[in-house]
Amino acid sequence: MSQMNADSEQRSRTSRWQTPGEGVRAEPSAHDVTGLRRYRVAVVTDGTAVPGRGEGGVAAALRVVDGKAVLLTRLAAIEAVPVFVTPTGTDEFVATVRALASSFDGIDLEAIAAPACFEAERRLQETVDIPVFHDDQHGTAIVVLAALRNALRVVGKRMESARLVVIGAGPAGTATVRLLVAAGAADVVVVVRGVVLHRDDMPSLPPHQARLAERTNPRGVRGGLAEALAGADAALGFTPALTRGLVASMGEGPVVLALAGPEPEIQPHLISDIAAVVATSHAGYPNQVSTALAFPGVFRGALDARAPRVTMSMRLAASDVLAGLLPREALSATRLLPELGDDRVVPTVAGAVAAVAAERWRSRRPGPGGVPEQGADRSVSAQKGVGP
């Protein structure tokens, strides 16, 4: 088999691992790194938010965590153990995972419905001294921010001045809004169930939506999706809502990240003549926004630095260097992110995460892998960060 065909097969296989609904099983590989595994991570789900199925049951949930475990093992040399916890409530879930935590170096939460996922992650991270990382939230946010940053570079706009609309405030949408604001986005409008979140409505909103309303919508937009999208520079859709007419109402050279799954909420070819850049979460289209570009490196970096948690600064650093792996001359409307099979992704993300973690927790002894070196051309400081 030629090297080109081998690379293509690897990209295709990795995409299938990360595409909801695809069967996933570990298989022997000539590149297996068993001898290098120094860490063990529990990949935990209660099956209440299986992509494309909702509460999908044990079998569907295990397919999700099996796939994530394969990716952690193959891409980051981390031993990953799938764990299914019967959904009986947040208290029971937290107690069960806490009891398991001493056997692991990290906890990856998967396919847990909102708002329970926010409470479960917070309570676990407050009570265990190892990283707890809800990939549906933070892995998605890291890759979405990187894709959006590069998409705005393609159309000649800046994050700080762009008008951004986030559709949906589930786990992925909520975490993405928080990361966007932390990255310097100044004009973010959030639409939930067809209604714009507004600061004046905070008393009647669920807690996580109230927090979003407090930090977004600086222009005081009222109404629904049409009012939010009128003149917008980018739409980030986490729930089916976008139409061709709505995209046509956006500003010049609009960016559309149609991220609802398992199928995009709007087919890219239906808006290719009016959207400057389109990305989806599906492997069958250009610009796949996949958390596989983030969570293996994030875990590896956090564990190598012996970080007790994954902070906002670590997530920003991961997104920054992920975006920076494609130089300006390599960016295009159909190439915003590195390929899933790009060997640079995991060590680059891990290096950035570990560097930030090591700076914060200097007193902690480095992990057995040490802190991966970060090249001088991948600085993640506020002054030298990747971006327009």
| Active-site residue, selected from the candidate residues 68, 157, 211, 306 | 68
Is-same-fold flag (3-136; 156-275)?
yes
Q: 378 vs 186, 333, 346, 371, 381, CA distance in Å?
A: 25, 23, 14, 15, 9
Q: In angstroms, rounded to a whole number, what is the distance separating the alpha carbons of residues 304 and 321? A: 18
In whole numbers, what is the pLDDT of the chain averaged over residues? Answer: 87
- Which among 124, 55, 126, 125 is positioned nearest to 87, based on CA atoms? 55
Predicted confidence at residue 32, as pLDDT, reads: 38
Predicted confidence at residue 261, as pLDDT, reads: 78
30: which residues sit within 8 A by CB, 6+ positions away? none
Predicted confidence at residue 54, as pLDDT, reads: 64
- pLDDT, one tens digit per residue, over 155-208 is 999 999 999 999 999 999 999 999 999 999 999 999 999 999 999 999 999 999
Find tokens 């560097």 and name the residue: 355
Spans of the chain below 70 pLDDT: 1-37, 52-56, 363-388
pTM confidence score: 0.86
313: which residues sit within 8 A by CB, 6+ positions away? 356, 360
Predicted confidence at residue 364, as pLDDT, reads: 62
Q: In angstroms, rounded to a whole number, what is the distance separating the alpha carbons of residues 285 and 288? A: 6
68 is catalytic: yes
E-only strand ranges, 11-63: 40-45
Identify the CATH number of the domain defined by range 3-136: 3.40.50.10380
82: which residues sit within 8 A by CB, 6+ positions away? 43, 62, 65, 66, 68, 69
Q: Please answer whether residues 46 and 112 qualify as being in contact, where contact means their C-beta atoms are separated by less than 8 angstroms.
A: yes
Q: Enumerate the domain spans of the chain.
A: 3-136, 156-275
- Which among 108, 145, 74 is positioned nearest to 346, based on CA atoms? 74
- Which among 386, 360, 381 is positioned nearest to 371, based on CA atoms? 360
- pLDDT, one tens digit per residue, over 106-150 is 999 999 999 999 999 999 999 999 999 999 999 999 999 999 999
Homologous superfamily (CATH) of 156-275 is NAD(P)-binding Rossmann-like Domain (3.40.50.720)
Predicted confidence at residue 51, as pLDDT, reads: 80
Write the DSSP assignment of 117-148 as a string of letters. Answer: HHHHHHHHHHH-SS-EEEHHHHHHHHHHHHHH
